[in-house]
Structure 1
Amino acid sequence: MAKTIIITGANGGLGSAVVKKFLSANYRVIATGHDSKSRFVTDHPMYEYHALNLADETETSAFVDTMISKHKKIDGALLLAGGFAMGNIDTTDGQAIKEMFSINFETAYYAARPLFNHMMQQGYGRIVLIGSKPALNATAGKNVLAYAITKNMLFKLAELLNETAKGTNVVTSVVAPSTIDTAVNRKDMPDADTSKWVKPEQIADLLDFICSDKGDAIREPVYKMYNNA
């Protein structure tokens, strides 16, 4: 039987590659995004798309409950939604922190909480959070302060969830890429050496491994995908 996977941020540069990978690997994909329609997949028997404000806890919780009621079992959740902002200690005020907190932490936590509880009840599940290199490396993070701080919180969330789930087959992973080779990043950094970046398809392959039976024995993982950046 095909595993059922929720993918947030499905219309982004990373999300689109992950959706395509998981559909090609015969998963049932439940995708979410801010846009009213899916940008990259329009007609596939194993795919459904929902517009969702992940920063709204009530809306997100209701969505998760509806998906559980409809599909009975959610096997995995790839929480890819997030955002980026420049700014060092001089330019990062409280509002900037709040905005990045909402985009990077709330969007993950509000989905992870009900999904984690569901997975604990069913005795199986995989949650994947997207961290970042700047969240772990002060040199890389000092000029993206709010982004680095709020992404770093996802590592602690995963640690706490894995401690809660210890002894079960429910696992929360964090994937920490350096710069991802997306169209938006190429436009924003036209002079960068993109050969050092991480391709979305490489991350998609890793996520497939995490959710597959091949990754069944792994616990408490943090995957650093830095390439040569």
Structure 2
Amino acid sequence: MTGAGGALSRALIPAFHRAGARLFLSDPRPERMAERAEAVGAKTFVADLTRLEEAEALARFVEGQAPLYGVVHTVGGFAAGRFLDSDPGLYDWMLDLNLRTTFNLLKAVLPYMEKRKEGFFAAFAAGPAWTGVGPGRALYTVAKTSLASLLRSLQGEVEGVRFLVVYPMGTLDTEANRKAMPQADFSRWIAPELVAEMVVEAASAKGGRLLELPIYPPL
């Protein structure tokens, strides 16, 4: 589980623990994941996944202790704003966090999965990548659409590996989002626990295939 100190991982970690998974958690900052790791008896590894060598070190760490069968990759970044006001630095940041981390992690873990012809890799896109519409979020849409396209393109390339692209089709109900938008109607937001439940279900499927899962907010 990458991004183990993040908002989505807060729901994903206990969900996978209840399902019986042996968990290895990764985040660039150890303090963000220490408490969560202790609660489920997970091992931790500090890694900056924008660097291929650190992604490869993470994969070796996990594989050295247990067969690396699955990855849930939650690392990503978001920024909104008018495209003409953006700059190359923002472009680099968005692509690094959303696409480069996914590329590096896939390069690091797929050789182990290919060897045993079994595995699961889940990553998170976004609603604009599903609908193709993202006014005010052009760079975010590009980054998440590229992530989804990468996983789609791998379908059937690595025998036995299942790829999952999750598309939250609205705002996730997290503490950070509530602080950022205190006047919003939280009842219309997507519960991270629902997302976690769906990802666990997808991870339990059999056979190598691509799954794409849009998750909508309540009506």
Structure-1-length-normalised TM-score: 0.88
Letter in 1 for 2:78: F
Q: How does 1:52-201 map to 2 (within 5 A)?
A: 52-71=47-66, 73-139=67-133, 141-165=134-158, 168-177=159-168, 178-201=170-193
Q: Is the 8 A contact 2:162 2:207 kept in 1?
A: no
Q: 1:20 to 1:45 in 2, by over 3 A?
A: closer
1:4 counterpart residue number: none
State the alpha-carbon separation in 1 of the partners of residues 195 and 175 from structure 2: 16
Query: Equivalent pairs: percent with the same residue?
Result: 25
Runs of 4+ in 1 over 6 A off after TM superposition: none
Q: Is the 8 A contact 1:55 1:103 kept in 2?
A: yes
Within 1, Cα distance between the matches of 2:180 and 2:131?
22
Residues 130-139 or 34-43, more deviating:
34-43
Q: Which amino acid aligns with 1:192?
A: A
Is the 1:11–1:40 contact (alpha carbons within 8 Å) kept by the matching residues of 2?
no
- Contact preservation (8 Å) 2:52, 2:108: no
Per-residue deviation, 1:138: 4.0
Kindly state the Cα deviation for residue 66 of structure 1 after the two structures are TM-superposed: 2.4
Q: Matches of 1:180 and 1:226 in 2, distance apart?
A: 10
| C-alpha displacement of 1:43 | 2.6
- Residue 44 of structure 1 and its aligned partner are, at CA, apart by 4.9
State the shift of 1:93 in Å: 2.1
Task: State the shift of 1:137 in Å.
Answer: 2.6
State how many pairs are aligned: 217
Cα shift readout 1:29-85 (whole Å, capped 9, x = no counterpart): 0011122232542535641122211111111112212221222x1111000111111
Q: CA RMSD in A?
A: 1.8
Shift of 1:21: 1.0
Confirm whether residue 18 of structure 1 aligns to residue 3 of structure 2: no
In the alignment, is the contact (CA less than 8 A) between 1:36 and 1:51 conserved in 2?
Answer: yes
Bigger shift: 33-42 or 200-209?
33-42
Distance 1:42 1:31, change over 3 A: closer
TM-score (norm 2): 0.92
* Cα distance between partner residues in 2 of 1:55 and 1:92: 21
Any conservation in 2 of the 1:79–1:129 contact (CA below 8 Å)?
yes
Deviation of 1:97 after TM superposition, in Å, equals 0.9
Measure how far apart 1:150 and its partner are: 0.4
Aligned equivalent of 1:50: 45
Question: Contact between 1:27 and 1:46, CA under 8 Å: does it hold in 2?
Answer: no
For residues 143 and 19 of structure 1, what CA distance do their matches in structure 2 show? Answer: 32
